[in-house]
Amino acid sequence: MKKILFTLLIFLISITVFNSCADTANTNDSYYEQQTVEETPGYDDEIIDNTTPEEGFDFWNGVLILVITLGLAALIVWFFISMVPLKLWFNAKLSKIDVSWLLLIKMRWQGIPQGKIINLMITARNANLTLDLAMLMKYYLAKVDLEVVVATMIRAMAANVKNIQFEDMATLYLKKVDVGAILHAQINAMNAQIDTTIPELSEFYLAGGNVGDLIKAKNIADNSGYKDDLTLDRLKKHYLAGGNLKKTIEAYISARKAGLPNFTFEDICAIDLANFDVLEAIQSAIKPMVVETSGVRGIARDGVELTMKVKVTLRSQIKNIIGGVSSDTVLARVNEALATQIGLAKSHTQILQNPYVVADTVEKANLNENSAYEILSVDVSDIKIGSDVGASLKVARAKAEVEAAKAELILAEEKVQKAMASAFLDGNISVQEYTDLKNKQADTLMRQSLANVDETGHHLASRDEDDEDTTHIDNINSSDTDEEITTKPSDPQPSGDDDKQ
């Protein structure tokens, strides 16, 4: 329809221009003919006008003028109907919105939806928000979602958010900022009395942060009583570093409430950024863990073996969690120190009488160096007495000496046998003399045993108590020797024959 009307308009304008040119040409020809006649000799001023009334009035020219007038009127009507929506303009006037026809025509030529823009202005006006039509057209052409921005502005006014302009919000939208999320965070910050601004939140959003999580974390920090420690800048820094903001804040608050010493918020952040579960790490510091050793064996100076079990109470050190030695290493150090203290004791009875002296000594030793855990206490849970290693060594040494003495005795007897054989062969001693010598030795050993005296004639009960173990070993050696002496001569048993003789 628009194309037909436009074609008709062009046609009418062409006809009008053509007729105007033709009238101009006819006028010029008439004037030339009149001038020629006047210049002709014998020209008479009284010339009879031969023009008829029909020639002075052109009927078709009148019709053409009427058609052109009607076409122009129709064109004007169509122009206003299509380019200037009168109903929309009238509604804007009723809402006290000043909209010129020129701007409406400009909107149509630029392809801007007139109804959408005017209705947005009416909605904003009803919400006591004044918008400029030229600015709306500008940002619509810039691909700004005006409905989102206007709704955000109306919400901001309802929430009494100050110092916010439509142009600023539209500019943030062009920067790919979620203006709705920014405004929501700003409203929450205002309600929580958190000092921040929309530009500051927008910068954090553009950096990749979640403004909602940031305001929630800051609100938790302020309500916990550590507002000065957990500043907004610190929280933003840790969040943008890739940390878990919620867990970090909870861990810091728990550590402060528990009264843990010597740590800062940066220490908690470092634990979180090191891929540790920061809440579990702090819980191990708040609630110390108790670990029992499997049993430490040690030998006192008196040679008695002791086995001790201790319960070690460990608490993690926040500053040394990263890079510090584990709890297994700390327990190994405790076992080493415990074995050392047992070995330094003069006797095992000293430890049995007061085992906590050893535990206190181990506890006071510097075993926390470069450790992720601090030793709070070392408590003895069990003590077992083992073998007397010193006595066992003495017995083993005595047995070795007995074996050596037996070997020497065997060698001596072998020499005696050889000497006796030589004596028998040389005729230096007879069999009867040898038998009498053996009988006398047996009688002497029997009398010593009955009299409880040794080879030197001293009573065995008169020995000092300090030499008791040595005497016992000597008795063992002498008894073994006596058995050999008494058993070997008994084999030939010549004593019976001699008695009979």
Q: Is residue 258 located within the same domain as residue 185? A: yes
Question: In the block, which residue shows the tokens 């920067």?
Answer: 175
Q: Is residue 315 located within the same domain as residue 344? A: yes
Q: Is residue 215 located within the same domain as residue 302? A: no
Among candidate residues 341, 368, 390, the one where a domain is terminated? 390
289-333 pLDDT, tens digit per residue, is: 888 888 788 878 777 888 888 888 888 778 777 767 677 787 888
Whether the Cβ atoms of residue 339 and residue 296 lie closer than 8 Å to each other: yes
Q: Is residue 304 located within the same domain as residue 274? A: no
Q: Is the pLDDT of residue 206 over 50?
A: yes
Confidence class for position 368, pLDDT limits 50, 70, 90: low
Q: Is residue 386 part of a domain?
A: yes
What total number of domains does the chain contain?
3
Domain that holds residue 344: 289-390
Whether the Cβ atoms of residue 148 and residue 179 lie closer than 8 Å to each other: yes
Q: Is residue 353 located within the same domain as residue 439? A: no
Tell me the backbone φ, ψ of residue 287, rounded to 5 degrees. -110, 100
Whether the Cβ atoms of residue 244 and residue 271 lie closer than 8 Å to each other: no
Whether the Cβ atoms of residue 315 and residue 376 lie closer than 8 Å to each other: yes
229 token code pair: 């420690």
Q: Is residue 261 located within the same domain as residue 198? A: yes
Tell which wins on pLDDT, 428 or 133.
133
At residue 4, the pLDDT reads 56
Q: Is residue 228 located within the same domain as residue 275? A: yes
Q: What is the CATH number of the domain that holds 338?
A: 3.30.479.30
Q: Is residue 205 located within the same domain as residue 271? A: yes
Q: Is residue 195 part of a domain?
A: yes
Q: Which of 157-161, 188-192, 433-437 has the lowest mean pLDDT?
A: 433-437
Q: Is residue 483 part of a domain?
A: yes
Q: Is residue 293 part of a domain?
A: yes
Whether the Cβ atoms of residue 365 and residue 312 lie closer than 8 Å to each other: no
> What rounded mean pLDDT belongs to the chain?
75
At residue 227, the pLDDT reads 86
Among candidate residues 253, 286, 319, the one where a domain is terminated? 286
Q: Is the pLDDT of residue 12 over 70?
A: no
Whether the Cβ atoms of residue 102 and residue 109 lie closer than 8 Å to each other: no
Q: Is residue 281 located within the same domain as residue 293? A: no
Q: Is residue 262 part of a domain?
A: yes
Q: Is residue 399 part of a domain?
A: no
Among candidate residues 286, 316, 347, the one where a domain is terminated? 286
Tell which wins on pLDDT, 418 or 326.
418
Q: Is the pLDDT of residue 186 over 70?
A: yes
Q: Is residue 276 located within the same domain as residue 180? A: yes
238-295 pLDDT, tens digit per residue, is: 999 999 999 999 999 998 988 888 888 998 999 899 888 888 888 878 888 888 888 7
Global pTM value:
0.56
Q: Which of 15-29, 83-97, 171-185, 346-360 has the lowest mean pLDDT?
A: 15-29
Q: Is residue 44 part of a domain?
A: no
At residue 51, the pLDDT reads 46
